[in-house]
Amino acid sequence: MNALRQELGPDGVLVATLDVPGQKLNVLSRPLMAEFEGLLRGIETGVVQARGLVLTSGKPDNFIAGADIKGFAIIESALEGETQAREGQALLDRLAALPVPSVAAIHGTCMGGGTEIALACSYRIASDDPRSAIGLPEVLLGLIPGLGGTQRLPRLLGLAGALDPILTGRSLKAAQAGRLGLVDEVVPPAALLVAARRAVLGLADGSLRARPIGIPLRDRLLKPLILWRARAQVLKKSGGHYPAPLRALEVVARGTAAPLPEALKIEARAFGELSVSPVSRALVSLFWATQEIKKDTGVPQGTEARQVRKLGVLGAGLMGAGIAGAAADAGVPVRLKDTSHEALGRGLAHVRGVLERRRRRGGLDGRGVRQRMDRVSATTTMQGFRRAELVIEAVFEDLELKRRVLAETEAATGDECVFASNTSSLPIGAIAKGARRPARVLGMHFFSPVHRMRLLEVVVTAETDAWATATAVAFGRRLGKHVVVVRDGPGFYTTRTLSPYLNEAARVLEEGARIEDVDAALTAFGFPVGPITLLDEVGIDVGARVAKVLRQAFGERLAPPDSLERFLEDNRLGRKNGRGFYHYAGGDKKRPDASVYALLASPGRRAFDAREIQDRLVFAFLNEAALCLEQSILRSPRDGDVAAVFGLGFPPFLGGPFRYLDQLGARFAVEMLERLAERHGPRFAPAGSLRERAGSGRRFY
């Protein structure tokens, strides 16, 4: 592979520079580990007369990004996974036991196996570059660290300090890692190798001492309490759906009570078992889906995106301000327009509020906040839009209003300007009807809150120019979004699949279920919030407008219950006006508002089985997803899974609706839908693509 360059300096320090040829990232693979074994053998046997070893990277922005995740997908048995872990552990044991000191010189991302290599070194130094981040993200893939991370980190930091990185997968910036003790020094990038050489020589002559290794006495005494608290936190956050954090906790607990060789065996066994678990398979597939869509522009190969040097945003509400803030954060100057100075003031305050919260958490400094705010200018006219390459409208969800805004934009911008609507349900073709440049019109459906939600749904019509699509996709990726390209149609993919799910929740309420029981059933299934809470958050008025669009397009199958209109007549808009299904007492505190039951067809309440609620809502969602694929709204099951997980909160541990359908089996899904149709009506009639797969045995993947 020739990925390790070795250079022995006159000071006796061997610098091994890892630079996997032809790859943007250094990832651990079998060929690379074989090279690494040769490096260690040379030092162990004395063939290389070195006073010490420095491990560094030749990549501009990463040390080691972790293991080759493709390898996880092809592990066929728990024993195979365990064996791979033991082989890697044995290699890192040799690194830790070298007769000379070793120093990890970390610049850029250092994740997973890269962090475990660093932990096996005698000493760690990181650059203070913002790109430097260190972590053990394996739990995010349904795994645990398998090369000694669950055992070396607690012995370096103590139990309390080590558990958070292991159990959450959270990465640490260099300064945070320095404060925690994960790295011993933090230096400017230009000084990294100088500091690493100095550290090697200091460790070699005894003038510098490495951190002591072992579980501190305080942690040994408080171990039961520390583990109890950690377990409670894991269960609170994961709902018990993710086995990896709990297994990691068990491995840490057992391993830290044993000698390191025995502890590593415990870790390897658990890694092997998790590597073939359904949750890990689903999370790994989801990870690969997000990597694949980064290379998929949704247009013919060779189509070039235009660079967006200036963005126009129409509408300074939460969505418009959120889009403006995300663009400013990505370094793009933004012109934000609304009809009044008051609205603009609220929009700019929202942008600043998001940035200030980041500053308080340490993610930005005051200078960074000012730089980003300086990129956003505000106006009540179309002045300043002439040079914008992209204009995104986020105005009220009204077709005629959006057409007027489009006409105003076309009059104020150049011929090559792309116009994007942030509509959540209106067909882009309907918005573009009568436009001067319909080939430049598409949808860019962001999700709220924009600064947190990772999905962007780009909606294209038959008339949309390929370069316009490529431009929208490239811009979305610049904002850090997972971009999925879908075909135009009422509700597109995300809103359309969410609609029957929310409709069914409202129907269950009408039939007598309690608000809190409906929400609890779906959070227990794995959604981050319940459907009734979601309706309040989105806005009951917004839901009603979307429902009207979808009912006109799809008839009674996507019709909401009649009670929705009664909620609007009672001025119940949701959280925005404090009157929805819940009472709000500030912050996230809420309690069900029992007075809403009088607005429902069945004001009395009765007990519902949680499984029944889950089946009705989830299978309505799954069936609509299959219909969207069948009708070519979606280009692939992969796109549908990414969009559902990152845009709608579909449980990641299931891999997305199509992975979940494969797990259930099409025949089971069809039988379930048919039973639901018999009981609740033809809206549950199975999609033709599900029936076909039930008969043929074909899968989505």
Residues paired with 484 in a beta bridge: 457
**Backbone φ, ψ for residue 573 (5° rounding):** -105, -10
Whose CA is closest to 541, among 519, 514, 569, 518?
569
pLDDT at position 297 over 90? no
* Assigned token pair, 338: 């609304």
In this prediction, residue 72 has a pLDDT band, given cuts at 50, 70 and 90, of: confident
Question: CATH assignment of 311-493?
Answer: 3.40.50.720
Q: How far apart are CA 237 and CA 140, in angstroms?
A: 13
**Bigger pLDDT: 444 or 295?**
444
Please enumerate in sequence order all residues whose Cβ is within 8 A of that of 76, keeping only pairs 6 or more positions apart, or say none: 276
Mean pLDDT of 600-619: 93
Q: How far apart are CA 389 and CA 137, in angstroms?
A: 38
Mean pLDDT of 498-524: 96
Q: How far apart are CA 630 and CA 434, in angstroms?
A: 30
pLDDT value, residue 588: 66
**Angle of helix 113-120 versus helix 78-96 axis, rounded to 10:** 30
Instruction: Let me know: does 535 contact 502? Beta carbons within 8 Å.
Output: yes
Model's pTM, two decimal places?
A: 0.91
Catalytic annotation on 457?
Answer: yes
CATH of 495-632+665-696, one of 3.10.129.10, 1.10.287.610, 2.40.30.170, 1.10.1040.50: 1.10.1040.50
Q: How far apart are CA 16 and CA 22, in angstroms?
A: 18
Which ranges of 365-398 would DSSP assign to H, the alpha helix? Answer: 366-374
pLDDT tens-digit profile of 86-129?
A: 999 999 999 999 999 999 999 999 999 999 999 999 999 999 99
pLDDT value, residue 692: 96
Look-up: residue for tokens 């597939």? Answer: 285
Catalytic one of 457, 463, 565, 671: 457
pLDDT at position 586 over 80? no
The pairing of strands 455-460 and 482-487 is parallel
pLDDT at position 216 over 90? no
**Backbone φ, ψ for residue 50 (5° rounding):** -115, 145
Mean pLDDT of 623-638: 98
List own/partner pairs for 662-670 with CB under 8 A and 24 or more apart: 662/699, 662/700, 662/701, 663/278, 663/282, 666/690, 666/691, 666/693, 666/694, 666/697, 666/698, 666/699, 667/694, 669/619, 669/622, 669/623, 669/694, 670/694
Alpha carbon separation from 595 to 98, 536, 688 (Å, rounded): 71, 15, 41
Percent of the chain with pLDDT over 90: 92
pLDDT value, residue 240: 85
Instruction: Let me know: does 174 contact 280? Beta carbons within 8 Å.
Output: no
pLDDT value, residue 405: 97
In this prediction, residue 470 has a pLDDT band, given cuts at 50, 70 and 90, of: very high
Mean pLDDT of 505-526: 96
* Assigned token pair, 512: 């007598």
Instruction: Let me know: does 450 contact 351? Beta carbons within 8 Å.
Output: no
Alpha carbon separation from 5 to 49, 230, 642 (Å, rounded): 16, 42, 39
pLDDT value, residue 664: 97
pLDDT value, residue 587: 64
Instruction: Let me know: does 689 contact 319? Beta carbons within 8 Å.
Output: no
In this prediction, residue 641 has a pLDDT band, given cuts at 50, 70 and 90, of: very high
pLDDT at position 155 over 80? yes
Please enumerate in sequence order all residues whose Cβ is within 8 A of that of 221, keeping only pairs 6 or more positions apart, or say none: none
In this prediction, residue 1 has a pLDDT band, given cuts at 50, 70 and 90, of: low
Percent of the chain with pLDDT over 70: 99
pLDDT value, residue 364: 87
Neighbour count for residue 53 (Cβ, 10 Å):
25
Distance of CA 278 to the CA centre of its chain: 19
Q: How far apart are CA 251 and CA 264, in angstroms?
A: 9
pLDDT at position 386 over 90? yes
Average pLDDT of the residues of the chain: 95
CATH architecture of 4-276: Alpha-Beta Complex (3.90)
Domains of the chain: which residue ranges?
4-276, 311-493, 495-632+665-696
Mean pLDDT of 455-478: 97
Q: How far apart are CA 418 and CA 312, in angstroms?
A: 10
pLDDT value, residue 96: 97
Instruction: Let me know: does 410 contact 438? Beta carbons within 8 Å.
Output: no
Q: What is the DSSP letter of 140?
A: G
